[in-house]
Amino acid sequence: MKPAVILIGPQLGENIGTVARAMLNFGLEDLRVVNPRKGWDVERAIKASAGADKVVENRKTFTTTAEAIADLGFVGATTARSRDMVKTVLTPEKTAQMIHSHAAESVQSGLMFGPERTGLDNDDITLCDAICTVPLNPDFSSLNLAQAVLLMSYV
């Protein structure tokens, strides 16, 4: 059972398309989009998906994060920033172990990614079971949305 990818507040169709491409590289197809920017260009998303059209076309769109994750038994919030909250912090490897152990019990999991400019806010993170963080250069820890999805999809 492969994890869902949940995008919170994506701004550009091109970013949704490149995320779809990254997902399909690893066989992921369950794309959930929460509160995307009004008027985002589906055609640009499909073009940017470079052949991963079906992921864009079959995406599920939600108005709230809670709705998007309601059927998931484990959700990891991806962030590079440290947070002042009591949440388990997992490496990508530990996140993968959690996803695989839930899948072995037929429990669906998901990975949540924040808006391009700001990342996830604390309200969305509180809905998740754990924080997933990649050990990046502390002086430059910014990844674009598709890079983050690609990296987490690999594990």
Q: What is the pLDDT along the chain (155 residues), one digit of tens a residue?
A: 899 999 999 999 999 999 999 999 999 999 999 999 888 889 999 999 999 999 999 999 999 999 999 999 999 999 877 667 778 999 999 999 999 999 999 999 999 999 988 899 999 999 999 999 998 898 998 899 999 999 999 87
Pick the closest to residue 55 from 18, 94, 91, 12 (CA basis).
18
Structural domain boundaries enclosing 70: 4-154
Give how many domains the chain has, as a whole number: 1
Q: Structure pTM?
A: 0.95
CATH code of the domain covering residue 88: 3.40.1280.10
CA pair distance 124, 137, nearest whole angstrom: 25
The β-bridge partners of 75 are: 110
Name the β-bridge partners of 32. Answer: 6, 60
- Matching residue, tokens 């864009």: 56
